[in-house]
Amino acid sequence: MPPLIRPAVAADVPLILTLVRGLAAYEKLLHEVEATEEKLSVTLFGPRPAAECLLAFTPAGAPAGCAIFFTNYSTFLARPGLYLEDLFVLPEFRGQGIGKALLLHLARLANQRGCGRMEWTVLDWNQPAIDFYESLGAERKTDWTICRLSGAALARHA
């Protein structure tokens, strides 16, 4: 049986935080996590939600994973797109097609919303993820690098 996928609601915030921290631990980036239940509540379920969250559950009803995404924009296409910020499946539920179901759910959503493309990033050492994404038809934009201005470097331009 396929997993059940539904949009997250405010009451899911503790679960979302658990999943976000699980992803950060997997990516060896737990030290970067500043998210709290309160911050997630305000930014995901407040008056101006900055992103959307899908939750996946096993057929037996156990929370198994999540996809957090927002709308981006391509000037070349002059069309919006969907950007997948986080995709995570708890270790005990991997290999059951839950990540694929979340990604395909999002691809259907992108098509329904008239989006020209769907994008996300992958860590270079995460070969299982790279193979999985390429099997779905995704291309890796290896000639582009993300630049980031944050923390003190951003604050000094205030």
Window 74 to 113, contacts with its own copies (CB under 8 A): 74-80, 83, 85-86, 104, 107-108, 110-112
Q: How far is the CB of 91 from its own copies (least distance, A)?
A: 18
Residue environment code for 118-147, b if the CB has 16+ CB neighbours within 10 A, otherwise e: bebeeeeeeeeeeebbeeeebeeeeeeeee
Site for its own copies in 134-153 (CB under 8 A): 136-153
128 binds its own copies (CB under 8 A): no
Residue 128 parent element (H or E): helix 127-135
**Segment contacting its own copies (CB under 8 A): 2-10, 56-64, 91-99, 118-126?**
118-126
The pattern of x and - marking residues 38 through 77 that bind its own copies according to CB under 8 A reads: -xx--xx-----xx----------------x-xxxxxxxx
Amino acid making up residue 106: L
Indicate whether 15 belongs to the interface with its own copies (CB under 8 A).
Answer: no
Which residues have a catalytic role annotated?
133
Closer residue to its own copies in complex, CB, 92/111 = 111
Q: Is 83 left (phi over 0), alpha (psi -120 to 50) or beta?
A: beta
DSSP assignment string, 44-108: HHSSS---EEEEEE-TT--EEEEEEEEEEEETTTTEEEEEEEEEEE-GGGTTSSHHHHHHHHHHH
120 binds its own copies (CB under 8 A): yes
Judge whether 3 and 98 are in contact, CB under 8 Å: yes
Tell me how many residues contact its own copies (CB under 8 A): 71
State the minimum distance, in angstroms, from the CB of residue 131 to its own copies: 12
Shorter beta-carbon distance to its own copies: residue 60 or 146: 146
